[in-house]
A = this chain, B = another copy of it.
Amino acid sequence: MRIGELSARSGASVRSLRYYEEQGLLTAGRDSAGRRRYPESAVARVALIRRGFAASLSSRVIADLLPLLEAACVPRSRALLDAERQRLEAQIAAMTQARTRLDEVIALVTDPTRKCDA
C-alpha cells in the first residue's frame, strides 16, 4: 500500500510515517515513481511503534527495541524496557516533587496576613 493508505489505517500522519522511516523504525520500498510502498505488515509495525511512543519511549529507544522484539529476545528487551521504566519513574518522581514545591509556595502565599487589592 502507499503512504496515504497506511496513514489512514494506522492513525499516524503521513508526516509521522516519513519521520519513522527517517529514524529507522519503518522501512519502505519504492515504486517506479519513487513513491513509498508498504507491505500489509507495516500496519502492525506502525501500531507497535505508536505503542512505544504512547509509552514515552523515544524513537531512538524504539529503534533499539524493535530488532530485539523481532528476534524475540526477551531478556534484552526486558533490560531495555526496565531501564526506560526507571527513567519514567524518575521523571514522575521529579514532577511529584515539583508538586510538593508548588504546594509549599501555595501555602506560603495563602497562610500569612491576607490582603488584596483586586
Interface residues of A (CB under 8 A from B): 51-52, 54-57, 69, 71-78, 81-82, 84-85, 88-89, 91-92, 95-96, 98-99, 101-106, 109-110, 113-118
Contacts and interface: CB of A to CB of B under 8 A. Distances in A.
Contact of A95 (B71, B92, B109, B110): B92
Contact of A116 (B51, B74, B95, B102): B74
Q: Closest 10 CB pairs between A and B?
A: A56-B98, A55-B102, A55-B101, A73-B116, A74-B114, A77-B109, A54-B101, A81-B106, A92-B95, A72-B115
Contacts of A104: 51, 55
Given A51-B105, A82-B106, 8 more contacts: A51-B101, A71-B117, A72-B114, A73-B117, A74-B109, A74-B114, A75-B118, A81-B105
B78 A88 contact: no
Nearest to A91: B95
9 contacts: A54-B101, A55-B98, A55-B102, A56-B98, A56-B102, A57-B102, A73-B116, A74-B114, A77-B109
